Structure 1
Amino acid sequence: MPAPLTLPRIAWGDPSASHRALLVHGLGSSGALMWRLGDALAEAGWHATAVDLRGHGDAPRSLDYTVAAFGADLVSTAPDAGGAWDAVIGHSLGGAASTVAAASDPEWTRRLVLIDPAIHVDGRDASIVRRSQERAFADSRIEVVQQEHPHWHPQDHELKIDAVRRASAWAVEQTSAQNQPWDVRAHAARLTVPTHVIAADPAVYSIFTGDLAAEVLAANPRITMSVVEGAGHSLHRDKPEEAIRQLQEALACGALSDRREPK
């Protein structure tokens, strides 16, 4: 794997808690934008840590923005007290990088929860992701985010603007450019820990749905799936209460027995 970078952290909950979770954000985002999940985990008795990925927030910059490099950083990110994470929760790019990390080191975490993960991104989805990031960096006024996502919490509006302003536009651009193809399906097939995907509603927009979702689930019986209806790709901001409910269920069960068929 590529040489790892040391990622900055923020945390919620009692550091002495018996359960430790790592939160991994998506492309163009930041660790702080995982606040809703971190806060809920802390209330449930967990200690939750979020990182800024390379090229984002306060994290070091690099020339390498492959998913393998993001994954290498995560493999070298351990709980403060050492040992394995009890759970790693990754959104989009963070889900892909967490998949690579867990496949590379089966002792890194005891379970995965992937939030609309970017397991395979090409064609139309690649274009949508690229245009979305270009718009965000072209106009980072909070009014634009509020207009596009009026249902988000005000702190999500604020933190999204902060994330864009602190991220490297070049790093975000290179993440798309350097991952051709963007495909971690083989890593997902090798996962040995219970893994649950919380997917977005394809009627709104999801990058983990249809034939792709069916293929990934069929390739590994340890992977299960549920859908947050009415939520788009950033489902933990679109429908936070339902996203948190499904996250807590996944963490309680390890791997859900309800393998819902992808839409």
Structure 2
Amino acid sequence: MSTVTLPRWHWGDPESPRRALLVHGLGSSAQTTWRISEGLADAGWSATAVDLRGHGAAPRASRYRIEDIAGDLLGTRPEGDGPWQLVVGHSIGAAAAAQAAGTESAWSERLVLLDPALQLDEPARQSVLAGQLANHDGATVASIAEQFPHWHPLDIEFRVWAVQAASRFALERMVLDNDDWNVTAFVPHIAAPTLVIAADPDHGAMFAGEHAAAVLATNPLLEAVVVAGAGHSVHRDAPEATLRHLLDWLRASETP
């Protein structure tokens, strides 16, 4: 497994001792994290977002297994080395972050997973694949705005740009290479306090029901909150609520 160097985008004071890494989901890019990145920067954090392999300006590669993405993430370190004080991941980015944190405990001090895609069965994988390829081939500002009229205009703009900027091969292989899509075995080994911000089960949540309960039961460091009314992209469907949950949890975890 060869790793690739991931391009970085940055928000906030680069000298801040509180350094966060943000990891986007399938068909997205570093720029699609802007609401969370900006919110963390406003709260005094140095926020760095990366383009995953095959996405945005990142190198293209021949393999797109979650373990490859996790390896790329483990290769990222803040300026001056040391751990990330916080890693925030969405969807497959959250799955890769969970695998990375479960592999190397010194990589991150805290973890936030936005509706993580930790385990997908075959019908779910095929649905994800069809949606990603359809967006890559035909998404427009008008079509995304019609589908998500409540999204911020920048979220719509970045969604269209990101899915078109991603390699079509990468979008396919991130699903097809992961025919055994399941990183739950890494969750018990996560040594960092972890918050799962899950989507509403009535709006297409990937972290819900018996699956969510089983995952939470494997590690006492995990806790979860559901964002009512939000779909899988919780940070775009309900950015204020998502950021509030994140910042409240961070403040509580920093309280002596």
Deviation at 1:41, TM superposition (A): 0.4
Deviation at 1:253, TM superposition (A): 2.8
1:40 is aligned with what amino acid?
G
Name the counterpart of 1:168: 167
Deviation at 1:143, TM superposition (A): 0.7
Name the counterpart of 1:154: 153
Name the counterpart of 1:114: 113
Name the counterpart of 1:236: 235
Deviation at 1:252, TM superposition (A): 2.0
In 1: Cα distance, 2:136 partner to 2:16 partner: 38
In 1: Cα distance, 2:113 partner to 2:252 partner: 15
TM-score by length of 1: 0.94
1:98-131 deviations in Å (ceiling 9; x for gaps): 0111111100000100000010011442233122
Name the counterpart of 1:83: 82
In 1: Cα distance, 2:104 partner to 2:165 partner: 30
In 2: Cα distance, 1:132 partner to 1:125 partner: 11
Name the counterpart of 1:178: 177
1:149 is aligned with what amino acid?
F
In 2: Cα distance, 1:128 partner to 1:45 partner: 39
**Contact 1:125/1:207 (8 A) holds in 2:** no
In 2: Cα distance, 1:50 partner to 1:117 partner: 17
Name the counterpart of 2:18: 19
In 2: Cα distance, 1:85 partner to 1:67 partner: 20
1:34-88 deviations in Å (ceiling 9; x for gaps): 0000000010000000000000000001111000000000001000221110000
Name the counterpart of 1:259: none
In 1: Cα distance, 2:156 partner to 2:248 partner: 27
1:226-253 deviations in Å (ceiling 9; x for gaps): 0000000001000100000011122223
- In the TM superposition, 1:55-204 aligns within 5 A as 55-204=54-203
In 2: Cα distance, 1:215 partner to 1:85 partner: 27
**Contact 1:87/1:251 (8 A) holds in 2:** no
Any idea what SS the aligned residue of 1:88 has?
strand
In 2: Cα distance, 1:231 partner to 1:132 partner: 18
Name the counterpart of 1:37: 36
Deviation at 1:135, TM superposition (A): 1.9
Structure 2: runs of 5 or more not aligned: none
1:204-263 deviations in Å (ceiling 9; x for gaps): 1100100110010011111110000000000100010000001112222339xxxxxxxx
Any idea what SS the aligned residue of 2:39 has?
helix
Structure 1: runs of 5 or more not aligned: 256-263
2:156 is aligned with what amino acid?
H
1:20-42 deviations in Å (ceiling 9; x for gaps): 00000000100000000000001
In 2: Cα distance, 1:126 partner to 1:174 partner: 11
Name the counterpart of 1:261: none
1:5 is aligned with what amino acid?
V
Deviation at 1:165, TM superposition (A): 1.6
In 1: Cα distance, 2:164 partner to 2:113 partner: 26
1:55 is aligned with what amino acid?
G
Any idea what SS the aligned residue of 2:242 has?
helix
Any idea what SS the aligned residue of 1:63 has?
coil
In 2: Cα distance, 1:119 partner to 1:203 partner: 19
In 2: Cα distance, 1:127 partner to 1:65 partner: 16
TM-score by length of 2: 0.97
Name the counterpart of 1:258: none
In 2: Cα distance, 1:128 partner to 1:205 partner: 12
Any idea what SS the aligned residue of 2:203 has?
coil
In 2: Cα distance, 1:8 partner to 1:67 partner: 18
